[in-house]
Amino acid sequence: NLKILSNTEITGLVQRGRTVLGVRIGTGEAATEILARETIISAGALQSPAILMRAGIGAAPRLHALGIDLLADLPGVGQNLQEHPGVSLSAYIRPHARLGNKSRRHSHIGLRYSSQAEGCGPGDMFAMVATKSAWHPLGDRIGTLLYWINKPFSKGHVDIENADSATGPIANFNWFSDPRDLDRLVDSTIMMAAVAASPEMQPHVVRPSPSSYSGWAKLLGRKSFSNYLMTAPVAFLLDAIPALQPAFVKQFIGGGRTLDNFVKDRSEIEAFVRAGVFGQWHPSGTCRMGAATDRYAVTSPDDGRVHGVDGLRVVDASLMPTIPRANLNIPVIMIAERMADAIRRNEAG
Ligand SMILES: Cc1cc2nc3c(=O)[nH]c(=O)nc-3n(C[C@H](O)[C@H](O)[C@H](O)COP(=O)(O)OP(=O)(O)OC[C@H]3O[C@@H](n4cnc5c(N)ncnc54)[C@H](O)[C@@H]3O)c2cc1C
């Protein structure tokens, strides 16, 4: 009784009045409707709110401005976007300290720690060491110390530009709307810089630097033979002539910055954190659960039903009222288990 359609994109919801009858796949003449007693959207915290908004479920004024007919006025749709903001330091790893191909995984250590900043609670920070930074020979030689806020307070939002499902949603993470987030990442940068520059690390790495990977790193990140051919000679040269390594790290990884002069100036660190911040692939919270009387709640905490609409649930990371101080995979599975139980109970009457 289960049919999985892979590589199939939902282009809209099928609805009659306030009831969702199923989903639409494909567009134009090729559009097909899949009807069901109930529809469960699990498209993730960036796409689920977009699917709802395109179907007329969202903030009435915004949908009106987009020319989308209103199905349910739920101003919380797309709001409350949370992520784990992080930055990183990187260094050239000396040959003896590389893991090479001995291990499939490149991260072996995680550190959960507490900033002790007021109101942030225990375990509000996380750090991880990656012993290689990309698949190619150059990536094998660059280690990264990545650290992020496990309990951020800044909130952003997801929006759509129009009702066309071919236009992706726009995510605005609004990273440092809460000053506690900027402060903690700046403090952590000072702490991690001290770790990276410690005498214990020096035999193993060359010139730890704030990482500011530019477009070239992303281009080389694509797995291809030509990228291998481009990176292999540089990697060979850097190992053969160690005197080149500090300049390489400073220029191509640190964007001209070095750790020693950088940590002396808090405003410099702040600028680095603002420019270099990135998420950990943990968007959440954009169809937040909460009581039907809560104006900004989108879904029921009991069973994921979308308030004010029949036949529609959301079950994914977008339900989270607040981002957990942990990676999201297991929490999402826990949500799914709980909602599956609720659906079974509903079905049993
Ligand atoms: C590269 C990467 C590494 C990660 N590593 C870890 C980790 O080590 N540990 C951890 O705990 N978490 C990790 N995460 C985070 C974790 O995977 C996510 O938080 C979790 O999967 C979110 O679950 P979800 O159901 O909300 O969304 P997703 O898992 O993103 O599922 C949404 C699905 O909906 C599909 N979809 C979207 N729009 C449509 C549409 N219109 N029609 C049809 N289908 C659609 C998407 O293709 C996707 O398959 C990682 C994430 C990424 C991207």
Q: What is the CATH number of the domain that holds 70?
A: 3.50.50.60
Boundary residue ending a domain (276, 295, 319):
276
Is residue 51 one of the residues assigned to a domain? Answer: yes
What size, in residues, is the chain?
349
CA distance 97 to 232: 19
- Check pLDDT > 70 for residue 5: yes
Cβ(46) – ligand 1 distance below 6 Å:
no
For residue 294, pLDDT beyond 80: yes
Distance, CA of 121 to CA of 325 (rounded, Å): 10
Does residue 221 share a domain with residue 239?
A: yes
Please state, as a whole number, how many other Cβ atoms lie within 10 Å of the Cβ of residue 4.
Answer: 5
Is 157 designated active site? no
Domain co-membership, 295 together with 319: yes
- Higher pLDDT residue, 133 or 79? 79
Please state, in angstroms and rounded to a whole number, the distance separating the CA atoms of residues 64 and 315. 26
Residues 54 and 182 occupy one common structural domain? no
Annotated catalytic residue, options 84, 136, 157, 282: 282
Tell me the average pLDDT of the chain: 93
Q: Is 4 part of any domain?
A: no
pLDDT above 80 (res 261): no
280 lines ligand 1 (CB under 6 A): no
| Among the ranges given (114-123, 238-247, 261-270), the one the predictor scored with the smallest mean pLDDT | 261-270
Atom of ligand 1 nearest to the CA of 25: 42
The per-residue pLDDT for 146 is 93
- Does the beta carbon of 167 lie inside 6 Å of ligand 1? no
**Has residue 77 been placed in a domain?**
yes
Residue 16 neighbours by CB distance under 10 Å: 9
Mean pLDDT of 165-185: 96
Q: Is the CB of 47 under 6 A from ligand 1?
A: yes
**Last residue of one domain, picked from the residues 213, 248, 276:** 276
Q: Is 334 part of any domain? A: yes
Q: How far is the CA of 282 from the centre of ligand 1 (A)?
A: 8
Instruction: Compute, in angstroms, the gap from residue 281 CA to the centroid of ligand 1.
Output: 8
Do residues 194 and 141 both lie within one domain? Answer: yes
CB of residue 282 inside a 6 A radius of ligand 1: yes
**267 and 291 both lie in a single domain:** no
Residues 314, 293: Cα–Cα separation, whole Å: 18
Examine the domain organization and report whether 145 and 245 are in the same domain.
yes
Whether 181 shows a pLDDT value over 80: the answer reads: yes
List the residue whose alpha carbon is closest to atom 43 of ligand 1.
9
pLDDT(213) > 70: no
Give the mean model confidence (pLDDT) for residues 15-38: 93
- The answer to whether residue 24 sits within a structural domain is yes
Angle (deg, nearest 10), helices 266-276 and 179-196: 110
* 58-72, 127-141, 161-175: least confidently modelled range: 127-141
d(CA 13, CA 22): 6
- At 335 the pLDDT is 97
Q: 260 pLDDT exceeds 90?
A: no
**160 within ligand 1 shell (Cβ under 6 A):** no
**Residue 205's CATH number:** 3.30.410
Ligand 1 atom, smallest distance to 10 CA: 42
- Partners of residue 170 on adjacent β-strands: 159
- CA of 18 relative to ligand 1 center, distance in Å: 29
In a domain, 239, yes or no: yes
% of the chain at pLDDT higher than 70: 99
Measured distance CA(284)–CA(268) in Å, rounded:
30
The reported pLDDT for the residue numbered 214 is 66
φ, ψ (nearest 5 deg) of residue 136: -85, 170
How close is the Cα of 334 to the center of ligand 1, in Å? 14
Q: Give the range among 24-28, 47-51, 284-288 with minimum mean pLDDT.
A: 24-28
Same domain, 23 and 64: yes
Residues 119 and 257 in one domain: yes
Q: pLDDT band at residue 257, thresholds of 50, 70 and 90?
A: confident
User: Do 131 and 266 belong together in one domain?
Assistant: yes
Residue that wins the pLDDT comparison between 157 and 207: 157
| Residue that is last in its domain, among 260, 276, 292 | 276
Residue 167 counted as domain residue: no
Q: Same structural domain for residues 111 and 256?
A: yes
- Centroid of ligand 1 to alpha carbon of 193 (angstroms): 32
User: CB count, 10 Å around CB of 272?
Assistant: 22
Written as six digits, the tokens of 272 are 């680095």
The answer, yes or no, to whether residue 287 has pLDDT greater than 70, is yes
**Is 316 a pocket residue for ligand 1 (Cβ < 6 Å)?**
yes
What total number of domains does the chain contain? 2
Q: Are residues 195 and 236 in the same domain?
A: yes
Of the candidates 79, 81, 39, which has an alpha carbon nearest to the alpha carbon of residue 59? Answer: 79
Atom of ligand 1 nearest to the CA of 336: 25
Q: Which domain holds residue 252?
A: 86-155+173-276
146/228 same-domain check: yes
Cβ count within 10 A of residue 115? 21
Q: Residue 37 falls within a domain, yes or no?
A: yes
